[in-house]
């Protein structure tokens, strides 16, 4: 019996974060698709289905993460995809949490994050908390 690998779309314009996150997710057995700006995230989310999770930076070129989230949650084909957002603004964590709820995001991570935190959020969003010790 073959296991279907879950596909994760990462929307991140910082190449270092994008590369490190991609490597970790691939190492954990996920297929990864990347996008460097908000418009590309929206385009790829609709074109590369199925996508099981979207990891999304808030501050991106062309379309910010909040607008991307709102757009995807408003479309039938992408409305059910869980979205975890990243933000580097440490001063406004409550605001970030409130905005995430407002736009339909599943959760959030503050940058910089440890890969352990990332994997915990990924597993929670995918409903896999009990499947790995990692």
Domain-located, residue 113 = yes
Phi, psi of 79, deg, nearest 5? -60, -30
Domain-located, residue 104 = yes
Q: What is the CATH number of the domain that holds 120?
A: 3.40.50.2300
pLDDT above 90: residue 38: yes
Residue with tokens 């296991």: 3
Quote the domain boundaries for residue 21.
7-126
The pTM assigned to this predicted structure is 0.88
Q: Is 9 helix (H, G, I), strand (E, B) or coil?
A: strand
Residue spans of beta strands (DSSP E) within the chain: 7-11, 31-35, 53-57, 83-87, 107-110
Domain-located, residue 37 = yes
Banded pLDDT at 87 (limits 50, 70, 90)? confident
Banded pLDDT at 134 (limits 50, 70, 90)? very low
Domain-located, residue 134 = no
């Amino acid at each position: 019996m073959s296991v279907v690998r879950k596909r994760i779309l990462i929307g991140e314009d910082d190449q270092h974060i994008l590369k490190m996150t991609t490597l970790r997710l691939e190492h954990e057995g996920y297929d990864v698709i990347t996008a460097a700006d908000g418009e590309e995230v929206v385009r790829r989310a609709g074109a590369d289905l199925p996508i099981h999770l979207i990891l999304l930076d808030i501050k991106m070129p062309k379309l910010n993460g909040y607008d991307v989230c709102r757009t995807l949650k408003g479309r039938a084909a992408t409305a059910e995809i869980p979205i975890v957002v990243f933000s580097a603004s440490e001063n406004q964590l409550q605001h970030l949490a409130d905005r995430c709820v407002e736009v339909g995001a599943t959760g959030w991570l503050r940058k910089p994050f440890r890969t352990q935190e990332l994997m915990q959020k990924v597993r929670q969003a995918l409903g896999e908390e009990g499947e790995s010790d990692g």
